[in-house]
Each structure stands twice: as structure tokens, then as C-alpha cells.
């Protein structure tokens, strides 16, 4: 009797069965019988096995089996190949060796070895491939099976590839925690991190500083070059921040052009100030974006826990207040938080309202600082400087109200008034003194500027070559065609153009080739350090002078205050000088008196050598000696010492602890004593507060103050003595 022929499916099944390691059907189905001889039950089993084999071949899933010891007895060959092996190579391998340990990728779940040991079934267990070059994730399910005696015989299970889902979930998680543009932590992430850090540090009595950064003139980039360029610029800003800070997890982009940095275990305001200055200097360097050259800046506010707040809300709020003060005091600077900033913010808002009516009330006036020929000491021109005498508050510094005017959109009417008033005054001066007027970037960007300048010259009759417009390098943002047209229009009027504050970080030799400047003004930051031993500023000034000479431009050195600075400037062939070594700004009436005499010559005078800046003030502080606290007044302050008054006849060599408030304590030794006045030298130098003032490098932690209060309140509430008899009694 002839045997019935096998169908094609039977042939494939039989072939697969001969290769047990290659197919689930072959492993568990055995050699197939002829269909006519197969019982009905076997036919159903065989069909099921064929379906499983087809499922394997489709790549949608895979199967595995182990012996009782957990060693692989079967695995789908296709998935083995994805792991860089073959099915036969993996036979006898511990199934757990196919996957990375759970702890290595941070999963919070029962581990595969634990489940196998407990002989527990499991479903959709996410596991990551352990083989190099294979970054796949698998969802693995398994069931134990037992022999007739109830002993564990092994495991059987399945798996499927969940790499795409896993990466999608990771991407979603990253988007929830990281800024999609820069890759930095986002606001939510950094806020949680700050909360956690401060909570832990409070228990451990550790300090933590934060910096808030805001980019200056970033809006101008977006408006000039478009948002894609702005996005590219933000990426470069993030890269520069990371180079300085180092720890990517501690730098965040809060949104827009705002950034935040967490600095654990850092409360040294000298180091913080240096870092803030480095950040400002780095972010102020030119950028190349889509073929255009961009220049922005940055302002930084700093707050330190626990001194400036012990919760994240308090710390961020106070850092933001410091940032607001930094931007309000001229931008491009940093500021530490102090309690007086709350009142300063209120005062600033009030000043903005008063500034709107200051011109109408006649509170604005101009003073003029002489610009002197360095060789002949002859005054060749003056710079117009605006002064605001408030009806109630008295003299308000331009460093305070000019930034307010810029933010409140008042700089244009204020700048136009200065221009017209300076031309009006200069037209009345005998002789041919030039008058220099500062033009802000906001004014320069206004297409009506040439019309206003022409109108001022025509109305006052001032010759155009006696008007000099001082323009800062920030106007070259984007190197736009509009900038070139503006220079051409102004130069067409016949006025002189001066490049102000050259060398402050925005410098490029490229624009000097095309911009029609008549003069370069060397920033005073180079001058003030030029006479310090080891300084390279002198070489930089010499290079600027050589460059100006080659381009047939004059040079003016700003901020010269000492005779040694003047000597150096003369040796370096700087053509003109401006600074207190010759004259402070003078009023219009005094200027006319000098001009009427004829040639105005000023003999230089001042300290022989540059010395540390001294800040004149009237500030009440505490001076602690032994168990006594004295109320004294600081009359001037430098990085190394102070001039105080309030205690009588203090012996030279006496040591005090000077209490500046808010935890600022420094040891000082009396070096000079004159009745109720003493000159003291600090044991540790003061550091910049970022606002033109000084502060102590370290502060006494509130934790220590609280501990001292518990131990002895007598040391914190000491009696004051101010008379000679009280001093002797002490």
C-alpha cells in the first residue's frame, strides 16, 4: 500500500524538527508522523507548533527554555544572532548572563535571578541585553515546569523587543527633565534638585550657592537675525557655561535667555565673584551664528544658603533680586544678594516714575570732563556727562538712572536732550574745543539719529567737526548693512566718530577696517592695572596705539588717576588723556571761564602711584574688642583696610573684629590712631561685591550664630563704649 505524500508544510516541519536548536517546533514536537497516521490530538499539537515556528520566523517574538539549573536548552536562533551569537553557542549558558543586572540601569523591580530562585512566574520583565554593541531591551516572560515528582525541571518562556518603546519613554522622560534645545536641565529638574540639595545640606550645615543669569541684548539678536539664529546662539551659550562650571547636571536653562547654576559647598564670595566674572567675560565674547557675528552680554545674581535663604523659594527669589540689581546698575556685571536690595528695588521703581518727568522739571544738567593732550597738557575737548539732581534725593548717579532709562524706553528722549544741549553749550564756547557725546546702542539703532544730529548742528550753529559721537562696540551686533549705512550717514554730516570702551571683550579688528572712526578710547580697566608688576596691560595698550596709528586714528586713555599711570601712558604714546589726574567734570560756567582765558592748560596732579580703590562712605558698623562692642562709622574703605571713627585714643596695634552686618566679620589691626579716628588694616582682604563696592570673602554661618546663641547670648549683645574713660575701663 502506497504511503500518502507529505504536503509542503510537512516537509518544512520535518526539516525544522531535524534541527532542534533552530525551531521551537523541532525542539518540542519530535519527528512528525504522516498526516494519515496522526491521531486528531497530535494534529492539533502539530498545528500549534507550526504556528509558533511561524511566529519565531516573523521576528515579532522569540522563545527560550532552560534546564533546572537555569542553563539555556533552547533559544530562538534569530534573537541569538541579534546578540552576536548563534543558538547553539548559547546552549548551556546561564539564562541570566544574557542580560545586564537590574541595578546597573537603575530599574526598581524584582531581579531575574531572584524570580528564578523563587520559582515564580513572571510577565513582561524589562531586561537590557548584556552583549557589547547590542543596546536592545527585551520584555521577557517565563513559567517554571516540574517533573512528575514535583521537582523543578526547568523554565520555558518568551520575549519580545521593546527597544523602540523604551527609547520613546526615555525620550519623554528626558523632555520632562531636560531642555530640548540646549540639553541642560530644565526649570522643573533644577528646582527639584535644589530642593533636595538644600534639604540635605541644612541637616549637614553645609552651604550652597546659586547663580541666576540673564543674557543682555539677546532680544536684539532675535529681532535682527531671527529665532533660528537665537536658538543657535543659546546652544553656544550653554556650551560656554558648561566649560566654566563643569557639572552639566548643575546648569539649567529656565526658559528664554535665563539660566541657573547650582554650586554646592561654595560660599567664598571671592571665588564666586571670580566665577561670575569669568562667566560674564566668556558669554560676552563674539559668537558666529549662521555666518553672522553676534555680540551679547550677561548679568549675574548670586545668593548663598544658608546666609541668603534656607529654602529654594527664598534663595531663588533673592538671587533674582540680585540679578535685577546687577542689570539695573549697568548690565554686564554680577551682584551678591544683600538685604538692602529689597528697598533698592522699591527705590528703583520710584526713580523710574520720577525719571519720566525729570527733563520737564529741569532736573537734568550737563557737566564736562576735559580731554587733555598727553604731551602738552592742553585741553583739546571735553566729554559731556549727564547729571540728575533729584528734587528730594539729590544727585543720582548715571550708573543708576541710565539703565533705568534704557529699560523704560526713555533713553531716546534723554539722549536727544543731551545731544542738543551739548551742541548748544559748545556753540557758545570761545575757541574750537570739541564736545564728545555718548550715543547708546538704542539710539544708534534708530534710523532718525542722523536727522537729529543734523538738526542739532543746524539749530545751534556748531561746526560739525567740533562734535564727536562716542559709540560702543556693541553696535556691531550682527555686522548688519544697517550699521554700515548709519556710519556712512553720520560721517556724511562731517561729525567725528570715536570708538568708546575699546578692549572690553567685544573687540574685533575686522570692523576697524570699515568703520570710519577718528579715535579709539582705551577702556580704563586696562589703564588701572597697567602699572601693577607683572601686568600685560601695558603691552595691550601699546598694541592698541600701534593699531590706531596705522589707521590714522587718535587714542584716548580713560580713567587716569595717578602720576605713574600718566607716565606710562605717555611712554606708550597715547595721544590724549581723560581722568582725575587732570580734572574732574566741571560745570558749564567754569568751563567758559577757562576757555575765555585762551588755551586751557592743566597741570597734572594726584597720587604718585596707583593705589587700591577707596570708597568714601558714611556707614555704621560694629567694632568688637574683647567683650565690648563699639558703634563706629566707616569713612572710607579699601580692599586692605578702612578709616573709622567713633572710639577715643585707641592704641596702635589694637585688634578689633569689624562687623559689617549679615554675618560679615573681619579682623582688623589699628595702624594709625588720631583721637577719635583710626586707620585699620584687615587681616584678610575684601573682595568685590560686583557693584563697585566691597564685601568680606566669607560670612559667619547662621548655623554657627544659632549655636553660639544657645551657648552664650552675652557675646552677641555687647555693651557699646564711645568715650575715653569707657575705652580705658575696657
Q: Domain of 115: which CATH number? A: 3.30.450.20
Asked whether the predicted pLDDT for residue 32 surpasses 90, the reply is no
Asked whether the predicted pLDDT for residue 325 surpasses 50, the reply is yes
Of the candidates 288, 314, 271, 284, the one whose C-alpha atom is nearest the C-alpha of residue 213 is: 284
Q: What is the mean pLDDT of residues 633-656?
A: 89
Boundary residue ending a domain (166, 200, 228): 166
Residues 376 and 491 in one domain: yes
Residues 573 and 649 in one domain: no
Asked whether the predicted pLDDT for residue 331 surpasses 80, the reply is no
User: How far apart (Å, rounded) are the C-alpha atoms in residues 720 and 717?
Assistant: 9
Could you tell me the CATH number of the domain that includes residue 383?
A: 3.20.20.450
> In sequence order, what are the beta bridge partners of 659?
622, 665
Residues 551 and 659 in one domain: no
503: confidence class by pLDDT, cuts 50, 70, 90: low
Question: In this predicted model, what pLDDT tens digit does every residue of 95-108 receive, in sequence order?
Answer: 988 888 865 444 44
The grid coordinates listed for 430 are 570761545
Q: What is the mean pLDDT of residues 394-400?
A: 84
Dump strand ranges (E) for 129-280.
137-146, 152-161, 208-216, 251-255, 258-264
How far from 571 is each of 206, 232, 540, 575, CA to CA, in Å? 52, 45, 13, 10
Residues 49 and 68 in one domain: yes
- Does the residue 212 lie in any domain? yes
Give the per-residue pLDDT at 8. 38
Give the per-residue pLDDT at 43. 56
State phi, psi for 656 to the nearest 5 degrees.
Answer: -125, 160
Share of the chain above pLDDT 70, in %: 83
Q: What is the mean pLDDT of residues 647-652?
A: 90
Asked whether the predicted pLDDT for residue 41 surpasses 60, the reply is no
Cβ atoms of 634 and 621 closer than 8 Å = yes
Q: What is the mean pLDDT of residues 39-57?
A: 66
Q: What is the mean pLDDT of residues 702-714?
A: 53
Cβ atoms of 234 and 258 closer than 8 Å = no
Asked whether the predicted pLDDT for residue 670 surpasses 50, the reply is yes
Of the candidates 539, 537, 579, the one whose C-alpha atom is nearest the C-alpha of residue 558 is: 579
Q: What is the mean pLDDT of residues 660-678?
A: 89
Cβ atoms of 150 and 167 closer than 8 Å = no
Asked whether the predicted pLDDT for residue 498 surpasses 50, the reply is yes
724: confidence class by pLDDT, cuts 50, 70, 90: very low
Residues 558 and 626 in one domain: no
**Across 288-297, 336-345, 593-602, 666-675, which has the greatest mean pLDDT?**
666-675
Residues 189 and 324 in one domain: yes
Cβ atoms of 557 and 575 closer than 8 Å = no
- Does the residue 627 lie in any domain? yes
Q: What is the mean pLDDT of residues 186-215?
A: 91
Residues 149 and 216 in one domain: no
Q: What is the mean pLDDT of residues 561-584?
A: 93
Asked whether the predicted pLDDT for residue 511 surpasses 80, the reply is no
Asked whether the predicted pLDDT for residue 727 surpasses 80, the reply is no
- Would you call 414 exposed, middle or buried from its count of C-beta atoms within 10 A (0-12, 13-18, 19+)? buried
Helices (H) and strands (E) in the chain, counts: 25, 29
Asked whether the predicted pLDDT for residue 35 surpasses 60, the reply is no
- Domains in the chain, number: 4
- Does the residue 556 lie in any domain? yes
Q: What is the mean pLDDT of residues 689-706?
A: 76
Residues 89 and 34 in one domain: yes
- Does the residue 12 lie in any domain? yes
Asked whether the predicted pLDDT for residue 718 surpasses 70, the reply is no
C-alpha dihedral, 241 to 247 to 249 to 254, nearest 10°: -20
- Does the residue 35 lie in any domain? yes
Q: What is the mean pLDDT of residues 203-221?
A: 88
> In sequence order, what are the beta bridge partners of 681?
641, 669
Residues 279 and 372 in one domain: no
Residues 265 and 409 in one domain: no
Question: In this predicted model, what pLDDT tens digit does every residue of 220-245 receive, in sequence order?
Answer: 777 777 888 889 999 999 999 999 99
Boundary residue ending a domain (138, 166, 194): 166
Lowest mean pLDDT among 47-51, 268-272, 546-550: 47-51
Residues 136 and 185 in one domain: no
What are the helix (H) ranges across 105-185? Answer: 112-117, 163-177
Cβ atoms of 460 and 427 closer than 8 Å = yes
Count of Cβ atoms closer than 10 Å to residue 644 Cβ? 26
- Does the residue 610 lie in any domain? no
Q: What is the mean pLDDT of residues 264-270?
A: 92
Write out the residue range of the structural domain in which residue 417 sits: 346-357+364-597
Asked whether the predicted pLDDT for residue 15 surpasses 60, the reply is no
Lowest mean pLDDT among 149-153, 317-321, 335-339, 505-509: 505-509
Give the per-residue pLDDT at 341. 85
Give the per-residue pLDDT at 711. 52
- Does the residue 453 lie in any domain? yes
Bridge-based pairing state of the strands 379-390 and 434-439: parallel
Cβ atoms of 449 and 443 closer than 8 Å = yes
Residues 35 and 136 in one domain: yes
Could you tell me the CATH number of the domain that includes residue 204?
A: 3.30.70.270
- For the whole prediction, is pTM greater than 0.75? no
Boundary residue ending a domain (166, 189, 212): 166
- Does the residue 718 lie in any domain? yes
| C-alpha angle 468-474-477 in degrees, rounded to nearest 5 | 125
Asked whether the predicted pLDDT for residue 572 surpasses 80, the reply is yes
List, as one string, the DSSP characters of 378-435.
BEEEEEEEEEEEETTTEEE-HHHHHHHHHHTT-HHHHHHHHHHHHHHHHTTSSS--EE
User: How far apart (Å, rounded) are the C-alpha atoms in residues 398 and 421?
Assistant: 17
What's the mean per-residue pLDDT of the chain?
A: 82
The grid coordinates listed for 702 are 547662621
> In sequence order, what are the beta bridge partners of 616?
636
Amino acid at each position: 500500500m502506497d504511503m500518502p505524500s507529505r504536503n509542503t508544510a510537512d516537509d518544512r516541519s520535518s526539516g525544522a524538527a531535524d534541527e532542534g536548536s533552530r525551531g521551537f517546533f523541532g525542539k518540542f514536537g519530535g519527528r512528525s508522523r504522516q498526516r494519515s497516521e496522526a491521531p486528531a490530538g497530535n494534529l492539533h499539537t502539530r498545528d500549534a507548533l507550526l504556528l509558533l515556528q511561524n511566529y519565531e520566523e516573523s521576528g515579532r517574538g522569540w522563545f527560550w527554555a532552560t534546564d533546572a539549573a537555569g542553563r539555556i536548552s533552547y533559544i530562538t536562533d534569530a534573537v541569538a544572532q541579534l546578540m552576536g551569537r548563534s543558538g547553539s553557542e548559547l546552549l548551556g549558558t546561564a539564562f541570566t548572563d544574557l542580560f545586564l543586572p537590574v541595578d546597573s540601569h537603575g530599574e526598581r523591580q524584582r531581579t531575574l535571578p531572584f524570580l528564578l530562585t523563587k520559582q515564580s512566574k513572571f510577565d513582561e520583565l524589562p531586561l537590557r541585553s548584556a552583549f557589547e554593541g547590542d543596546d536592545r531591551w527585551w520584555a521577557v516572560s517565563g513559567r517554571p515546569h516540574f517533573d512528575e515528582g514535583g521537582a523543578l525541571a526547568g523554565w520555558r518562556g518568551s520575549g519580545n523587543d521593546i527597544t523602540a518603546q523604551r527609547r520613546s519613554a526615555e525620550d519623554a522622560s528626558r523632555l520632562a527633565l531636560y531642555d530640548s534645545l540646549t540639553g541642560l536641565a530644565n526649570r522643573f529638574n533644577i528646582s527639584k534638585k535644589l530642593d533636595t540639595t538644600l534639604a540635605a545640606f541644612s541637616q549637614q550645615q553645609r552651604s550652597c550657592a546659586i547663580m541666576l543669569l540673564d543674557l543682555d541684548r539677546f532680544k536684539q539678536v532675535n529681532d535682527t537675525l531671527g529665532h533660528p539664529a537665537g536658538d543657535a546662539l543659546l546652544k553656544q551659550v550653554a556650551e560656554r557655561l558648561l566649560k566654566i562650571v563643569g557639572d552639566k547636571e548643575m546648569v539649567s536653562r529656565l526658559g528664554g535667555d535665563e539660566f541657573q547654576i547650582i554650586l554646592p559647598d561654595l560660599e567664598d564670595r571671592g571665588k564666586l565673584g571670580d566665577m561670575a566674572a569669568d562667566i560674564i567675560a566668556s558669554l560676552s565674547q563674539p559668537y558666529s551664528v549662521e555666518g553672522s557675528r553676534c555680540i551679547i552680554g550677561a548679568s549675574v545674581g548670586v545668593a548663598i544658603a544658608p546666609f541668603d535663604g534656607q529654602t529654594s523659594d527664598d534663595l531663588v527669589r533673592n538671587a533674582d533680586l540680585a540679578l535685577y540689581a546687577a542689570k539695573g546698575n549697568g548690565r554686564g556685571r554680577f551682584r551678591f544678594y544683600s538685604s538692602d536690595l529689597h528697598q533698592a528695588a522699591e527705590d528703583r521703581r520710584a526713580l523710574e516714575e520720577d525719571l519720566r518727568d525729570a527733563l520737564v522739571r529741569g532736573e537734568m544738567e550737563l557737566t564736562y570732563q576735559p580731554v587733555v593732550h598727553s604731551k602738552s597738557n592742553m585741553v583739546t575737548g571735553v566729554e559731556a556727562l549727564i547729571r540728575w539732581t533729584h528734587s528730594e534725593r539729590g544727585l543720582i548717579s548715571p550708573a543708576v538712572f541710565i539703565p533705568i532709562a534704557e529699560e523704560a524706553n526713555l533713553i531716546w528722549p534723554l539722549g536727544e536732550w543731551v545731544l542738543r544741549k551739548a551742541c548748544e553749550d559748545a556753540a557758545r564756547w570761545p575757541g574750537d574745543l570739541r564736545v564728545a557725546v555718548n550715543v547708546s546702542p538704542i539710539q544708534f539703532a534708530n534710523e532718525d539719529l542722523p536727522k537729529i544730529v543734523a538738526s542739532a548742528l543746524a539749530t545751534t550753529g556748531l561746526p560739525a567737526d567740533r562734535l564727536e559721537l562716542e559709540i560702543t562696540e556693541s553696535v556691531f551686533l550682527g555686522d548688519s548693512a544697517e550699521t554700515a549705512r548709519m556710519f556712512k550717514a553720520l560721517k556724511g554730516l562731517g561729525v567725528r566718530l570715536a570708538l568708546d570702551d575699546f578692549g572690553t571683550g567685544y573687540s574685533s579688528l575686522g570692523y576697524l577696517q570699515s568703520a570710519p572712526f577718528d579715535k579709539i578710547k582705551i577702556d580704563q580697566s586696562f589703564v588701572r592695572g597697567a602699572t601693577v608688576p607683572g601686568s600685560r596691560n601695558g603691552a595691550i595698550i601699546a598694541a592698541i596705539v600701534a593699531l590706531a596709528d596705522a589707521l590714522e586714528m587718535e587714542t584716548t586713555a580713560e580713567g587716569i588717576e595717578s602720576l605713574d599711570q600718566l607716565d606710562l601712558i605717555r611712554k606708550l604714546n597715547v595721544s590724549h588723556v581723560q581722568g582725575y589726574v587732570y580734572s574732574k567734570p566741571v560745570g558749564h560756567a567754569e568751563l567758559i571761564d577757562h576757555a575765555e582765558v585762551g588755551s586751557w592748560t592743566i597741570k597734572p596732579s594726584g597720587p604718585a602711584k596707583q593705589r587700591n580703590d577707596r570708597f568714601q562712605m558714611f556707614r555704621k558698623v560694629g567694632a568688637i574688642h574683647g567683650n565690648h562692642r563699639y558703634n563706629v562709622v566707616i569713612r572710607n574703605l579699601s580692599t586692605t583696610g578702612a578709616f573709622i571713627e567713633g572710639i577715643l585714643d585707641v592704641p596702635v596695634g589694637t585688634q578689633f573684629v569689624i562687623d559689617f552686618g549679615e554675618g560679615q566679620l573681619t579682623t582688623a589691626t589699628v595702624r594709625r590712631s588720631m583721637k577719635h579716628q583710626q586707620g585699620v588694616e584687615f587681616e584678610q582682604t575684601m573682595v568685590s561685591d560686583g557693584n563697585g563696592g566691597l564685601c568680606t570673602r566669607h560670612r559667619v554661618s547662621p548655623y554657627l550664630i544659632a549655636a553660639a546663641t544657645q551657648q552664650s547670648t552675652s557675646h552677641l549683645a555687647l555693651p557699646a563704649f564711645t568715650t575715653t574713660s569707657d575705652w580705658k575701663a575696657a
